[in-house]
Amino acid sequence: RTVEKWFAKFRRGEFNLEDEPRSGRPSDIDDDVLRTLVLNNPRISTEEVATALNVD
């Protein structure tokens, strides 16, 4: 279902990948730090990412 939503957005020419505002707790993760981790080690595991970002 999520994939269908993304395909529909792309077909309409919407290429913005930023999260839209929503209710709930905001993310504590710095996107730039996450991006750097993955770019420096594309094979990094989710456990390693969680440890590096100090996420439980």
23: in domain: no
Is the pTM above the cut of 0.75? Answer: no
Query: Nearest CA to 33 among 54, 18, 19?
Result: 54
Q: What is the pLDDT along the chain (56 residues), one digit of tens a residue?
A: 889 988 898 899 988 877 778 898 887 888 899 999 999 999 999 999 999 999 87
Range of the domain at 6: 1-17+28-53
* Paired tokens of 39: 């770019």
Backbone phi, psi, residue 53, to 5°: -95, 0
* Paired tokens of 17: 């990948």
Number of domains present in the structure of the chain: 1
Q: Which residue has the tokens 């709930």?
A: 24
Query: What is the distance of C-alpha 52 from the center of its chain?
Result: 15
Length of the chain: 56
